[in-house]
A and B are shown apart, each in its own frame.
Chain A
Amino acid sequence: MTSTDETGGQDLLGHVLLPVAHEEDALATARALEPYDPERVTALHVVEKGGGVPDKTPVEQSEELAAESYAAVRTVFPDADEHTAYARDIVGAIFDAAEKVDASAVAYRSRGGNRLMQFLSGDISLKLVTNAPLPVVALPRVDDEE
């Protein structure tokens, strides 16, 4: 699964880890990344776990969601790999996955929402950029076709 990039990790988009939440998000995120022509892409879906309490959604449903998301990413990057993680701490899981698949950067697209919504659903953007052990690329939000 792992391979060292020939560029020795210098190439920022050598192996991009692409966290996606659902089909629509996956498509938008993949399209936002497309113009930058990454060498290799691994789509990541983190199934949010309750960690001691029941999840928000049944596991089966979460896994369907993951499969749909990967399929959406593959419509843009047909060779994209996929990786599913299960965790309560989403940001932690993203970085763990980045290490596991040896990614050169994490590329994500903020899902927007106002401050209150971000606070309630756990502000992932903030944690992602403040705790990053590897480069994190914030993709531009293109709201043209939503």
Chain B
Amino acid sequence: MSDEELAKDLGLVSAMTIGIGTMIGAGIFVLPGVAVNADGGAGPIVVVSFVVGGVIAMVNALSVSELGTAMPKAGGGYYYINKSLGPMFGSIAGMGDWMGLAFASAFYSIGFGQYLAVFVDLPTIPGLNAIQVGALVAGAVFIGVNYVGAKETGGVQTVIVGLLLSILAVFSVAGFFSFDYATLAGNEGGLAPGGYGAILPGTALVFVSFLGYAKIATVAEELKNPGRNLPIAIIGSVGIVTVIYAILVTTMLGVVPWPELSQDAPVAQAARVAFPESIGPVTGVAGGAAAVMTVGALLATASSANASILASARINFAMGRDKIVTNWLNQIHPNYATPYRSILVTGGLIVVFIALLGRDIEILSKAASVLHLIVYALMNVGLIVFREADVPEYDPDFTVPFYPLTPILGAVLSLGLVAFMDGIEIALSGAFVVAAVAWYFVYARNKTDKQGLLSEHIRSRESELPDQVVGAADAVAPNGTGDEGPTIMVAVSNPRTESALITLAGAIAQHEGGRVLATHIVTVPDQTSLETAAENRSGLDQSSEELLAAAAADAEAFDVPIETKTILSHRGIEEVFDAARTNAADTVVMGYGGTRFAGGRVEGSLDELTHDLPCDFLVLDGQRLDLSDVLVPTAGGPSSDLSAEVARALRETVGVDVSLLYVADSGEEESGREFLSGWADGHGLGDATLRIETGDVERTIGRLGEEYDLVIVGATERGLLSRIVRGSLAFETIESLDTPVLLSERPSSRSLRERLFGER
């Protein structure tokens, strides 16, 4: 494990197991009897319903694979949607995923109860039938197991799935020998007694059998080699499960005539018929086979429910991370190390669903499907947004074929299938969607600071798009970022430079009436194993808390609000960019060391990142600031505008003397002086000392810089920062200068930046 990240320990088989284990319980063991008899009898045509369900699942599986390899993060569908479509749709997706899983778990528990009733005489309680009682007991056990996090259950999962597949294989072989085409097709009405129109309603009913592949994506961060394993596991498990369903349902219907197929325990019934009563001297084979099938059904429904409860905790965590729900939900139990509150809340929902809706398994299964289908549809739209917005961070290892056809088809099919559900499930799901939107406006909107790519995209094209669209985007935008005044983000990493960086940020924030956000980004480079990184981390920085406390203390010198944040990240400088984006920073102040810390990494996206600055960047080379006079060399340009702003801020808050420098070609001193005084007036620095020199620009700055306490150098071209980061900038004169140097770079298209991150 030396070179791998130690946190990643799920291989391809484990990942497949999660998908297949979640899906297979429902389709085979619970639904066939219900589906063939639905709506007065759909008949054997339901096999086609299963296949259609598989096709819809497959189209979505392709999209999930792309999104999952681009962002292997806990949370899956919710995370992608929140990131692309913003927190309002994120709330819908998170709530939909969560409630969908609770409905699905209730459904699996009912399935468990149905097979349990074959073995045990379950009592009835007023208001609850025997199956519901069994389901409630089962549900309580699943919740309890997840609450204590008994890890032994996890290890059994692989065994269970292996066992299930073997049981089903034996069953299909036995079924093959007792298969009778007349049994399949010879009933009244032939293969499609309900007509071909029964196919899609059938798919709507059985689609719950395919809710499982997306759970692989919720644990993507734990997969080894996710770029390869994630798509194979997701697409593979959907493919395998579809084939199994088609074969086994056909077999079942060729063994037991469909009108007689049990609605509660169809597989046990079919096994009783398919297996001979005795093989040689051994009698009771059929009964034994039925018993084995029943055990298989219990295992299958249990593993489905188990996986769903676990997945819902992941979604809660991701929502808590984005502050859509309170993090109270995600507290970890002190002894069991499980997210126990999340499990209990989900468990409570499951119990309520079983008790209130458990009499009709169709409602549970369809409600679960509708909610998931809404999430899938949003996810496909999100994928299109990611592609169209063309963000450099979005770099999936797997891409869907036939873009944009596949995601469009996925969204259309998902929503189309919803239309074949019944009114009650649609109403129920609609209520949850409305509740999610209400939740967003009442609670989450004021907490979350994440803005979706879509609204960034819309707001960045304010002038090109109709007012209504921009207005709508504004109306739903999160308030978490909506402060007056700019945000000056400081990336502190070194206690020695912390004070200097905060001084600069504080001065700018006070001058512009903004706030300071001090972040400490603890980087864990990818190449290093997490373990080694953790060791180095202790040597590298003092406790984050100490550092940020010092930052807060330093900022008190200025009359500005300060917020502090520690960010643990696998990425280095990219995280600075990401943090700047998510916190809607207007200016980032960081140390030269900070940029170099992540240097040496050869990463293609880095160039793109640094060429596409999210906001103004100020990089300080130097440790202490003792400011009384500063030198600003200028030749015009957007970055020297930024230099001027910083100089002005320092003059007005700290009271420094500002000198401006223009290095002219010899003989052109006069026009140089004219330019400089014009420039000074234009930037509110008319009273600054003007210095005109001739000679080599760098050497002149180096020579004069010695006389000052700080030199503010604007980037003369795009990509200055990129070159510092990669260490290819030959700024020797300036680097060897004892005076601290502040490098400033402003993104060249200022207006775009303003619209993206600045004014509303």
For the complex, give the distance between the alpha carbons of A18 and B158 in Å: 34
**Closest Cβ neighbor of A51 among chain B residues:** B9
Contact with B along A41-69 (1 / 0, CB 8 A): 00000011111111111111111111100
Q: By CB atoms of chain A within 10 A, which of B321, B334, B538 has the most?
A: B538
Contact between chains at A54 and B219 (CB < 8 Å): yes
Q: Could you say which of B155, B330, B544 contacts A52, with CB atoms under 8 Å apart?
A: B155
Among A48, A56, A67, A117, residue most surrounded by chain B Cβ atoms (within 10 Å): A56
B residues near A85, Cβ cutoff 8 Å: 6, 531
- With A50-B154, A52-B9, A67-B568 known as contacts, the answer to whether A57 contacts B337 (CB < 8 A) is yes
A-facing residues in B9-31 (Cβ within 8 Å): 9-11, 14, 17-18
B606 to chain A, nearest CB (A): 23
CB B744 to nearest CB in A, in angstroms, measures 33
Are B158 and A121 closer than 8 Å at their CB atoms?
no
Q: Which residues of A contact B538 (CB under 8 A)?
A: 70, 80-82
Q: Do A60 and B221 touch (CB < 8 A)?
A: yes
Interface membership of B322, Cβ < 8 A = no
Task: Using known A-B contacts A61-B317, A71-B544, A120-B148, determine if residue A21 contacts B11 with beta carbons closer than 8 Å.
Answer: no
Report B340-361 residues with CB < 8 Å from chain A CB.
none
A15 within 8 A of B: no
Tell which of B157, B158, B534 touches A82, judged by Cβ atoms closer than 8 Å: B534
| A59-B9 in contact given A54-B154, A82-B537, A122-B151 (Cβ < 8 Å) | no
Q: Which residue of A lies closest to B566 (CB)?
A: A67
A47 → B minimal CB distance (Å): 7
Distance of B109 from chain A, by nearest CB (Å)? 20
Q: Are A22 and B334 in contact (CB under 8 A)?
A: yes
Interface digits, B37-59 against A, CB 8 Å rule (1 contact, 0 not)? 00000000000000000000000
A35 at the interface (CB under 8 A from B): no
**B534 near A84 (CB under 8 angstroms)?**
yes
Q: At the interface, yes or no: A25 with Cβ under 8 Å from chain B? A: yes
Central interface residue in A49, A54, A66, A74, by most chain B CB within 10 Å:
A54
A56 to B9, Cβ gap below 8 A? no
Residues of chain A with a CB closer than 8 A to B535's CB: 1, 81-83
- Whether B10 and A48, one on each chain, are in contact in the complex, defined by CB atoms closer than 8 angstroms, is no
> Which B-chain residue is minimally distant from A86 (CB atoms)?
B6
Q: Give 1 or 0 for each of A6-26: 1 = CB within 8 Å of chain B CB.
A: 000000000000000110110
State whether the Cβ of B288 lies closer than 8 Å to any Cβ in chain A: no
8 Å CB interface, B136-192 against A: 148-151, 154-155, 157-158
Q: Does B338 belong to the interface (CB within 8 Å)?
A: yes
Q: Does residue A141 face the partner (Cβ distance < 8 Å to B)? A: no
Binary contact track B611-652/A, C-beta < 8 Å → 1, others 0 = 000000000000000000000000000000000000000000
B74 CB contact (under 8 Å) in A22, A59, A86: A59
Q: Which of these, B219, B335, B531, B566, contacts A84 with CB under 8 Å?
A: B531
- Contact (Cβ within 8 A) A56 B158: no
| A57-B155 contact, Cβ under 8 Å, with A48-B337, A52-B10 | no
CB of B553 within 8 A of chain A? no
Beta-carbon nearest neighbor of B153 in chain A:
A53
Q: Is the CB of A57 within 8 A of B531?
A: no
B321 touches A60 (CB 8 A): yes
Contact A58 B150 (CB under 8 A): no
In the bound complex, CA of A63 to CA of B18 (Å): 23
Picked from B74, B150, B338, B544, the residue with its CB within 8 Å of the CB of A60 is B74
Establish whether residues B336 and A121, one from each chain, have CB atoms under 8 Å apart when the complex forms: yes
Given contacts A74-B543, A81-B538, A85-B531, whether A56 and B151 have CB atoms under 8 Å apart is yes
Interface size on A, residues (CB 8 A): 45
A-side contacts of B338, CB under 8 Å:
56-57
CB distance from B97 to the nearest CB of A (A): 15
Return chain A residues, CB-CB under 8 Å to B317: 57-58, 60-61
Please report the C-alpha to C-alpha distance between residue A88 and residue B337 in the assembled complex, in whole angstroms: 13
* Residues 202-234 of chain B, each 1 if its beta carbon lies under 8 Å from chain A, else 0: 000000000000000001011000000000000
Q: Give the distance to chain B from A131, nearest Cβ to Cβ, in Å.
A: 18
Say whether, besides A52-B10, A57-B317, A67-B566, A83 and B335 are in contact (CB < 8 Å).
no
With A and B bound together, what is the CA distance between A82 and B219 in angstroms? 26
Highest count of chain B CB atoms <10 Å: which of A22, A51, A61: A61
The yes or no answer to A127 lying at the interface (CB within 8 A) is no
Of A24, A70, A84, the contact of B334 (CB 8 Å cutoff): A24
Report the separation of the CA atoms of residues A54 and B221 in the bound assembly, to the nearest whole angstrom.
10
Which chain B positions have C-beta within 8 A of A62? 7
Chain B, interface size category, equals 35 or more
Name the CB-closest residue of A to B18.
A54
Beta-carbon nearest neighbor of A46 in chain B: B337
Determine the chain B residues whose CB is within 8 A of the CB of A67 once the complex forms.
522, 544, 566, 568
A52 engages B335 (CB within 8 Å): no
Interface residue? B409 (CB, 8 A): no
| Contact across chains for A71 and B10 when beta carbons are under 8 A apart | no
Minimum CB–CB distance from B704 to chain A (whole Å) comes to 43
In the complex, what distance in Å separates the CA atom of A120 from the CA atom of B535?
Answer: 31
Residue pair B219, A51 in contact (C-beta under 8 Å):
no
Q: Is the CB of B534 within 8 A of A65?
A: no
- The distance in angstroms between the C-alpha atoms of A21 and B148, with both chains bound, is 15
Most buried by B among A22, A25, A66: A22
B332 at the interface (CB under 8 A from A): yes
Q: Report A-chain residues with C-beta under 8 Å of the C-beta of B545.
A: 71
Query: Are B531 and A86 in contact (CB-based, < 8 A)?
Result: yes
Residues of A within 8 A of B14 (CB): 52-53
Residues from chain B with a CB closer than 8 A to the CB of A80 are: 538
Q: Is B339 an interface residue (CB 8 A)?
A: yes
In the assembly, what is the distance between CA of A86 and CA of B529, in Å? 11
Distance in Å from the Cβ of B321 to the closest Cβ of chain A?
A: 7
With A21-B337, A86-B530, A121-B335 known as contacts, the answer to whether A63 contacts B568 (CB < 8 A) is: yes
Q: Residue on A with the closest CB to B534? A: A84
Which of chain B's residues has its CB closest to A113's CB? Answer: B335
Chain A positions within 8 Å of B366 at CB level: none
Minimum C-beta distance from B16 to chain A (A): 12
B314 at interface (Cβ–Cβ under 8 A)?
yes
In angstroms, how far is the closest chain A Cβ from the Cβ of B506? Answer: 25
Would you call B151 and A54 a contact (CB within 8 A)? no
Question: CA A88 – CA B158 in complex, angstroms?
Answer: 16
B339 touches A25 (CB 8 A): no
Bound: A1/B538 CA distance, A: 11
Q: How far is the CB of B149 from chain A (nearest CB, A)?
A: 4
CB–CB B74/A52 < 8 A: no
Residues of A contacting B157 with CB < 8 Å? 53
Complex: A57 Cα to B330 Cα, angstroms = 9
Answer whether A58 and B544 are a contact pair too, CB < 8 Å, given A51-B9, A86-B7. no
B537 contacts across to A, CB distance below 8 A: 82
Interface residues of B in 105-153 (CB under 8 A from A): 148-151
- The verdict on B742 contacting chain A, using a C-beta distance below 8 Å, is no
Would you call B531 and A53 a contact (CB within 8 A)?
no
Chain B contacts for A121, CB-based, 8 A? 148-150, 335-336
Q: List A111-136 residues whose CB lies under 8 Å from chain B.
A: 111, 113, 117, 120-122
* B686 → chain A closest CB, angstroms: 50
CB distance from A77 to the nearest CB of B (A): 11
Structural contact, A64 and B534, CB atoms closer than 8 A: no
CA distance A95 to B130 in the complex (A): 50
Contact residues in A for B522 (Cβ distance below 8 Å): 67
**19 chain-A/chain-B pairs, Cβ below 8 angstroms:** A47-B7, A50-B9, A50-B151, A52-B10, A52-B154, A54-B310, A56-B339, A58-B317, A61-B330, A63-B530, A67-B566, A81-B538, A82-B535, A83-B531, A86-B7, A117-B148, A117-B335, A121-B149, A121-B150
Q: A54-B154, A56-B339 are in contact. List 7 more A-B contacts (CB 8 A).
A: A24-B334, A48-B337, A53-B151, A54-B307, A64-B568, A111-B334, A111-B335
Q: Show the binding face of B for A, using Cβ within 8 Å.
A: 6-7, 9-11, 14, 17-18, 73-75, 148-151, 154-155, 157-158, 219, 221-222, 307, 310, 313-314, 317-318, 321, 330, 332, 334-339, 522, 530-531, 534-535, 537-538, 543-545, 566, 568
Q: Which 8 A-B pairs have the closest CB atoms?
A: A53-B154, A58-B74, A86-B6, A84-B534, A56-B149, A54-B219, A59-B7, A82-B538
